[in-house]
Structures are given as C-alpha cells and as structure tokens.
Amino acid sequence: MRVALKVDVDTLRGTRVGVPALQQLFRDAGADATFLFSVGPDHTGRALRRVFRRGFLGKVKRTSIVRNYGLGTLLYGTLLPGPRVGRRAGAIMRATHALGFEVGLHAYDHVRWQDFVTHRGEGWTFREFARGGDAFQSVFGFRPQTAGAAGWQMNVHAFAAEEAAGLRYASDCRGSGPFYPMIEGRVFRCLQIPSTLPTLDELIGRHGIREAALAGVLFEASQRRAGDQVFTLHAELEGIRYRAALERLLALWREAGVSCMSLGSFYRGLDLTRVPVCEIRMGSVPGRSGRLVRQGPVRDPVRTAGASGEPIPLSAFL
Ligand SMILES: [Zn+2]
C-alpha cells in the first residue's frame, strides 16, 4: 500500500517551527512528503471570527486552538498586521525543496481563501491564485507545480485556474481516490488526488479518542480500506504539539511495509487511463465544521475501470 503525505502549512509559526521538525521526522522514518505552503500574509487571527459561528465552539473546546497555534498567531490580521510568510520564512521553504521534498501552493492568504472563495467569482479567484503563484515564485524561483486548497474550499474558477496554470495534479478535495473533476458540466484536466483519511484534528476528542490512541486509529483506518491513501497533516499540529502521534503513525506504517511518498510520486505511479471523471460536490466530514469540496459520483463510466468514485463515508473509519 502507498500513502501520500500532504503537509498543509497554514501559518508563519507552522513554517518556522513545524516544518523543520517534520522534515527531521520524515527523514528519520524514511518517509517522503509534499509540503504545501501559505506564501502570503498570515491572517490567522481572523479565523477567530469563526469562533462565533455556529458549530465551531465544540471544535475549539476539543482542539484547544490557542494552545495549538500560539497566542501571537491568533493576533495576526486582527490586532497585529499579518506577516508575509514567504518573506519572513522563505529560507525554510527553500530548504524544504533543497532537502528533496516536493513543494506546492497551499494559499496566498489562507484565511481569506478559506472564508471567501466559495462566494467569489472568476476575477477574485484568478487574482488570488495568481498572487499565490507570484509569491511562491518569489520564494522558490519557479511556479508551483501542484497545489492543495486551504480548508478544502474551492469554486469552479479555482479548478479552472489550476488548469490554466498547467498543474497536472492537485489535492483540493476529500474523497476516495484519484479522479478528474467535473463541475457544471465541464471536465478539468488537472487531476485531483483527494485526501482519503480523516485528519488528526478531526479525530481528537471524537468517540473518546485520546492523544495516545490517535496513531493507532489512523493506522487502522488506513488498513481497513483497500487501495492507496492520502493523508493530510498540518505543520501547526503534527509538526509541533502532536509530533509523537505522527512519529508513532509513521512507525506503524513502516512496520507494515507501507511506503509514504509525495503527491508527485503518487501521481507518477498512477495508470492515468484508469482514472475516472467524478462530479464535485460540497459536503461535510465528521469532526470538521462547515462544508468542503468532496469527490462526488462517477460521471464517466468509460474510464472508471477499477475505481469506485463514491465518496467515502469517513464515519466508516471510526
Ligand atoms: Zn490549511
């Protein structure tokens, strides 16, 4: 079995503290991964506004946002100006690439994208995506070759922007396996490699899952399901407070002969002639507030051999 590891890096603190820690951890475990960076301003403090939205208080209680993100981070974009992550921590991003890890674009302004993209049109979406690409290029000297949307939030124009940028694959959705996305009757050429496993923060506090049991629960989830998996982790969580849980999970996968790889390696191992076309649907996943982009039903049965495009009920893992 193959597991693609996708690291979402949301904040300046996650870039500075979480990313180097994860690099060390991956190297020690013989694992590869893709790091997706937020390259513009860190406005995480604005996410505090979500506290007042229905359904979010439970999550705050469970994951202890302040403890995980740090008080300074929660002031960015509210009481303090949001620092430009690419400018302040570009050296760490470049070092990630120099160490041989795949790098890609997570967002320009993570909070802004997550909060607004589903309500915005073509101009806004292409502008934000281009800002991300430009800031990414300022850091690395080349355009992003892959991307993964902040908070799994997308609109039809965002899929078009990825295609226009020449991306061959991206990971913006939750689902069961690789597919070409179809939205409003249009099929996009940028292949989606959806996250298939629940994230650590979605598990914390649910069904009495304690920190010490997280690795086991995730490992079981990956074993219970046939086929290759995609696991999204966060520099702010697994790279800082939940390092031990990730270390244990990587050890379990290693003992089971599972190879942990980047999205790029995962993509290159696919038989693209057998990848289905699936609709994109908005939906929810247990343990996460709000709606996000999910892999919907298969629309092109000619190309579906060997794949069921049905969205996975994540609850089946628990
Ligand atoms: Zn993120």
Q: 73 C-alpha vs ligand 1 centroid, how far in Å?
A: 14
Q: 24 C-alpha vs ligand 1 centroid, how far in Å?
A: 21
Q: Report residue 305's pLDDT band, with 50, 70 and 90 as the boundaries.
A: very low
Q: 232 C-alpha vs ligand 1 centroid, how far in Å?
A: 10
Q: 98 C-alpha vs ligand 1 centroid, how far in Å?
A: 23
Q: 273 C-alpha vs ligand 1 centroid, how far in Å?
A: 31
Report pLDDT for 309: 39
Q: Which residue has the tokens 């060997």?
A: 306
For the full predicted model, state whether its pTM sits above 0.75: yes
Residue 93, Cα to own-chain centre: how many angstroms? 17
CATH code of the domain made up of 2-309: 3.20.20.370
Report pLDDT for 196: 97
Report pLDDT for 111: 92
Summarize pLDDT for 65-123 with one digit per residue, the tens: 667 677 777 777 777 788 899 999 999 999 999 999 999 999 999 999 999 999 999 99
What does the pLDDT average to over 179-193? 95
Rg (CA), the chain: 18
Q: Report residue 135's pLDDT band, with 50, 70 and 90 as the boundaries.
A: very high
Q: 5 C-alpha vs ligand 1 centroid, how far in Å?
A: 14
Contacts of residues 84-88 at CB distance under 8 Å and 24 or more positions apart, as own/partner, are 84/40, 84/41, 84/42, 84/135, 85/11, 85/12, 85/15, 85/37, 85/38, 85/39, 85/40, 85/41, 85/42, 86/37, 86/39, 86/40, 86/135, 86/136, 86/138, 86/139, 88/12
Q: Which residue has the tokens 């690099």?
A: 23
Dihedral class, residue 181 (left if φ above 0, else alpha if ψ from -120 to 50, else beta): beta
Q: 301 C-alpha vs ligand 1 centroid, how far in Å?
A: 33
Q: How many whole angstroms separate alpha carbon 130 and alpha carbon 92?
A: 22
310 pLDDT above the threshold of 50: no
Q: 71 C-alpha vs ligand 1 centroid, how far in Å?
A: 18
Report pLDDT for 56: 52
Q: How many whole angstroms separate alpha carbon 233 and alpha carbon 7?
A: 5
Q: 144 C-alpha vs ligand 1 centroid, how far in Å?
A: 16
Q: 51 C-alpha vs ligand 1 centroid, how far in Å?
A: 17
Q: Where are the domains of the chain?
A: 2-309
Summarize pLDDT for 242-293 with one digit per residue, the tens: 999 999 999 999 999 999 999 999 999 999 999 999 999 999 998 888 899 9
